[in-house]
Amino acid sequence: MRNITGILLLIFGTIAIQSSAQSKWEKKGNKYYDAFSYHLAINNYLKVDDKSSELLRKLAWSYYQIEAFKDSEKIWKEVANRPDASGEDFYHYAQCLKVNKKYEEAYAWLQKASNKLTNDSRLSRSLGKYDQLQTYQKDDGRYVVKSLTMNTADQDFAPVMVGNQLVFASSRQGVESVERKWNWNGLPFLELYAGDLGPNDEVMNIRAFADVMKGKFHEGPISFNGNGNIAMFTRNNYKERDAKGYTCLELFEVRKDNNEWSDPIALPFNSANFSVGHASLNLSGDVVYFVSDMPGGFGGTDVYCAKRNADGTWGKPMNLGSDINTEGNEMFPFIHENGQLFFASNGHLGLGGLDSYVAKQKGDNKWQVLNIGSPVNTNLDDFGFVLSSDTKKGFFSSNRNGGKGSDDLYVVNVLKPWQFDKEIKIALTNNLGMALDLANLIITDKNGKATKITTDSLGMATINANDLENVVIECNYPVHRSLKTEKNLKPMEHESVIALELEKIPEVSLKGVITEAVTGRKLSDVKVEMENVVTHQKTVLNTDALGEFEKELSDLDWNQKVNYLFQFSKNGYLPQTCNYSQLIDREGEYLINNKCNVQLEKLEVGQDLGKLIDIKPIYFDLGKAIIRPDAAVELDKIVAIMNENPTMQIELGSHTDCRGSAESNRKLSDKRANSSADYIKAKITNPSRINGRGYGEMNLVNQCECEGKNVIPCTEEQHQANRRTEFKIIKI
């Protein structure tokens, strides 16, 4: 089947030749590679001493095309382990491993490919259901497969039943005296042949098909309507080449009248710039399914269909959509009269190479796809599957081991109908309504068997629920709380949707901007101490050059209330505190400026620090200078600020009212000032920064004179105003 892949679209002809300097062997190898002479390309590539990654890719693909799969695997391994390896390199290496039945290694490389090819459906389809390969490999007694004796050492493939005949494409030796051969495999060009369906599921009397469909190069595959009087076949475009110089494929229609076929008529959607081929007509001949690499597809070759208009012309082709088509190659469609579509693909989960699939339409361009399984499918190419009207017998092509040639024809007796999967969908979102893509879900059945599936870009994943009843579904997703839930799948219908919601852990931060009170200037290096009031966990931050600080919060719940005590301090500024409380009802930043005063007042020489921080009066017992507990509380406030400002110097001044003698008042105030200063000295760095001085009644703040000529009677409140302690800043 390596040959027809290239015949169809030359998909891998897009491996470009780099502009770097090339040896003569590499140039010759590239010349043969572009001409599809892969044996000769390999011979020249092997002579290059310093092989680039680009050359190794072509060498690996050349080995793959001539079915030297072990050699291809060895070279793909070297490419995949190079520093410049791409996601496609990982994918090709994985596919080659599957062809060589190394399924576990292939799975590991598919996972690596998925990290780079993040939106490639080939990977999401495969990784999400990879454990089903074991099911596909088992022979469950559904089929009896037999190789046909009519096979040759040449290519025989793409069978189609019409009446009591089997028509197929082949490179077998024809009747011409001079056989024209194709570079790829050295075999003659493909022609259409027919044989009679005989006893024992054999095909007899092989002969060339209609001469009107015989051309200079490749002809085939072919398809017929139900009556066998309309046919559509594939042939090379003899007249034009595409922009890369390749010959594309075209579809032609012929009609039979009085046992004679008409001249071929080209379909209107043929093009010199892309290929169309592998037609399959429905019974009435008014719908055709075919394959093309026309622009707008999903990648590689896609399956399309077109309907015939009432006037006999063909309508615009329609892509069959992402259920059928992938970034890989979908080929050889066959539409059965019961509406089931058979096709081959290397983009869906398969055993290796091309596998055959059957699809059942579920709605407008919606299909359920089923791998036909073993023994129809193998680790190599299995394709071109067609089925009789009664669905009991079919034919297909394969290059599996044990055949006579590169591609051989096989007959299959279908003993049991296909059991399409009961698929249950999982829609995974979070509590914010976001779809969670590439999430790993683990489905565990009642026997403890676990299956891992992965959500796609829309947060959707599919469970094959054929034999499942009660299951446990588990999911872990970054920045979300884990989920574990039980579901009963048995009563659910096909394509029922289980909606699962993960709770997103809020990503929240508290942010503040600290400025100077008067000027509004943003302050850097402000010390920010925040304490969780509930847990008492403390964090210390500093503002940056823009006066900003930010702290991310973790382990929060939605609608949780957070409470923090903030303290802001900077040398030369009056500290600030704030009790901050906030309900977490959204993600993102919460600006504490909205609730806290984050403006720091600059300290100036001459200011009374006691007034700035609202120190309560310092009380002493009558006639005493001992620091009382209530006074200690107020003095500790001065201690805190002086420790935050290690260069600040304070004069602690104690004042009395006028009552009593001036001398006794001076002495008492001096004792009290020094007692207060000594209390502070014991608790600050560099105690010499504070000195006490008693002023007695020298600096009255009102006119309450008690001696001399101007004795003024005052209330107790007025006298109280004169009994005060001042903390004058004399140096910052």
Do 329 and 443 lie in one domain? The reply is no
Could you list the residue range(s) of the whole structural domain that residue 588 is in? 508-602
Cα dist. 423→117, 207, 534 in Å? 26, 46, 49
Cα dist. 527→414, 542, 598 in Å? 80, 5, 12
Do 408 and 430 lie in one domain? The reply is no
The domain boundary residue, chosen from 393, 414, 435? 414
Enter the DSSP assignment of 664.
H
pLDDT of residue 245: 60
CA distance 725 to 671: 12
88-140: pLDDT as tens digits: 999 999 999 999 999 999 999 999 999 999 888 998 888 878 888 988 999 98
Contacts of 730 (CB under 8 A, 6+ apart): 605, 606, 649, 650, 651
Do 97 and 166 lie in one domain? The reply is no
User: Is the per-residue pLDDT at 72 higher than 60?
Assistant: yes
Q: Which tokens hold the place of 690?
A: 């504070």
User: Is the per-residue pLDDT at 558 higher than 80?
Assistant: yes
Do 277 and 383 lie in one domain? The reply is yes
The domain boundary residue, chosen from 502, 534, 567? 502
- The upper half-sphere exposure of residue 343, i.e. CA atoms within 13 Å in the direction of its Cβ, equals 34
Q: Which tokens hold the place of 484?
A: 């574990």
Residues of the chain above pLDDT 70, percent: 92
Q: Which tokens hold the place of 574?
A: 């009056």
Residue 397 forms part of a structural domain: yes
Q: Which tokens hold the place of 328?
A: 């890989």
Do 184 and 258 lie in one domain? The reply is yes
User: Which residue reads 């006794």 in tokens?
Assistant: 664
Residues of the chain above pLDDT 90, percent: 61
Q: Helix or strand or coil: residue 707?
A: coil
Do 565 and 630 lie in one domain? The reply is no
Q: Residue 173 CB: number of other CB atoms within 10 A? A: 12
Supply the pTM of this predicted model: 0.60
CATH number of the domain that 101 lies in?
1.25.40.10
Cα dist. 491→196, 234, 444, 468, 469 in Å? 49, 47, 18, 10, 8
CATH number of the domain that 491 lies in?
2.60.40.1120
pLDDT of residue 21: 55
278-298: pLDDT as tens digits: 999 999 999 999 999 999 999
Most trustworthy range by pLDDT among 14-28, 247-261, 338-352, 690-704:
338-352
Do 404 and 280 lie in one domain? The reply is yes
Encode 604-623: b = buried (16+ Cβ within 10 Å), e = exposed: eeebbbbeebebeebebeee
* Residue that wins the pLDDT comparison between 468 and 17: 468
Q: What is the distance in angstroms between the CA of the first residue and the CA of the last residue of the chain? A: 89
**Which residue type sits at 158?**
A
CA distance 5 to 346: 11
Residue 135 forms part of a structural domain: no
* Residue that wins the pLDDT comparison between 701 and 394: 394
Q: Which tokens hold the place of 359?
A: 């699809």
Extended beta strands in 198-275, E state: 203-208, 219-224, 230-236, 249-257, 260-261, 265-266
Residue 562 forms part of a structural domain: yes
Q: Which tokens hold the place of 128?
A: 């999400």
| Mean pLDDT, rounded, for 589-613 | 90
Q: Could you tell me if 375 and 149 are in contact, meaning their C-beta atoms sit under 8 angstroms apart? A: no
DSSP secondary structure, 621-659, as one string: -TT--PPPHHHHHHHHHHHHHHHHSTT-EEEEEEE--SS
Q: Helix or strand or coil: residue 556?
A: coil
User: Which residue reads 């870009």 in tokens?
Assistant: 457
pLDDT of residue 316: 96
Enter the DSSP assignment of 587.
S
Among 166, 170, 171, 276, CA closest to 223: 166
Residue 170 forms part of a structural domain: yes
Do 75 and 14 lie in one domain? The reply is yes
Sheet of 366-371: strand order equals: 330-335, 341-345, 355-363, 366-371
530-552: pLDDT as tens digits: 999 999 999 999 999 999 999 99
Do 528 and 387 lie in one domain? The reply is no
C-alpha angle 451/452/455, rounded to 5°?
140
Q: Which tokens hold the place of 436?
A: 């969670």
Residue 688 forms part of a structural domain: yes
CA distance 456 to 416: 33
Q: Helix or strand or coil: residue 686?
A: coil
Do 444 and 408 lie in one domain? The reply is no
CA distance 465 to 471: 10
pLDDT of residue 143: 95
Residue 554 forms part of a structural domain: yes
CATH number of the domain that 153 lies in?
2.120.10.30
C-alpha angle 524/529/535, rounded to 5°?
155
CATH number of the domain that 702 lies in?
3.30.1330.60
| Mean pLDDT, rounded, for 624-650 | 89
CA distance 347 to 590: 48
DSSP secondary structure, 15-77, as one string: -PPPSS---HHHHHHHHHHHTT-HHHHHHHHTT-SS--HHHHHHHHHHHHHTT-HHHHHHHHH
User: Is the per-residue pLDDT at 706 higher than 90?
Assistant: no
Residue 515 forms part of a structural domain: yes
Do 275 and 299 lie in one domain? The reply is yes
Count how many domains the chain has. Answer: 5
Q: Which residues pair with 196 in a beta bridge?
A: 165, 204
| Mean pLDDT, rounded, for 213-223 | 72
Average pLDDT of the chain is 88
The domain boundary residue, chosen from 85, 118, 151? 118
Cα dist. 593→62, 441, 483, 599 in Å? 68, 43, 37, 9
Residue 138 forms part of a structural domain: no
Question: Residue 53 phi/psi, 5° resolution?
Answer: -60, -35
Q: Which residues pair with 412 in a beta bridge?
A: 145, 394
Do 497 and 512 lie in one domain? The reply is no
